[in-house]
Amino acid sequence: MFALFREGGAAMWPLLACSVVAVAVILDRALYVLHGRCDRGQLLDEVTRGYRAGGTDEALAAAHTFRGPVARVVRHTLMSVASSTPKELHATVERMKMLQQSLLERRLYLLGTCGAVAPFIGLFGTVVGIQKAFADIAATKQAGIDVVGAGISEALVATAVGLGIGIVSVVAYNLLNNVIDKLSLDMDLAGDEVLSLLEAPREV
């Protein structure tokens, strides 16, 4: 592996940095996002049942048994209802959803940047490798494989590594964004449903 790294030339150092950043962000965001998933339907069923049985306190206790950004939006809504007017409550729910959205997307831009930049770094390594091959031809006045092999190998390794990092980063970025979009939709729906529950006349 180290020999392959050396063979790729100077472009391998920024590619190594991109790979480290990409892996770190993928692991960090995947754990955070997957840990934050919950069954929105079950959450709202439990909260509705608790609210109708014992009011806001019971609903809040039910919401505390769930984790993740959707549950946090629901809990924040329930905790804010006593001290807010209907208009203020809607505004505070929107702020909470924006906060949770920003936490979900935290550092994700780094992954997108790695996915976009890595192939170009690999292309830069390709140009350097080809330039090296032509320099060797000029120095030796020969064009055999023994002369240009090192430069061509450097170009191909840098290209392959850059494309590999770019592909993995873009795929992971899109998958994570897809999960985040679903969580964002769940937050919107859960917030609206809890607001509707709180605004409706409570059954006694």
Give residue 32's pLDDT. 92
Secondary structure class of 105 (helix, strand, coil): coil
Give residue 146's pLDDT. 58
Write down the domain spans for the chain: 2-199
Q: Residue 61 has which token pair?
A: 């206790």
Q: Which among 21, 67, 30, 26 has a CA at the least distance from the CA of 179?
A: 30
d(CA 31, CA 197): 32
Diameter over CA atoms, the chain: 96
d(CA 204, CA 202): 6
Q: Which among 155, 176, 174, 156 has a CA at the least distance from the CA of 116?
A: 174
Give residue 201's pLDDT. 59
The pTM of the full predicted model, rounded to 2 decimals, is 0.83
Give residue 156's pLDDT. 79
Q: Is 84 left (phi over 0), alpha (psi -120 to 50) or beta?
A: beta
Q: Tell me which residues of the chain have a pLDDT lower than 50.
A: 204
Q: Which residue has the tokens 């150092």?
A: 13
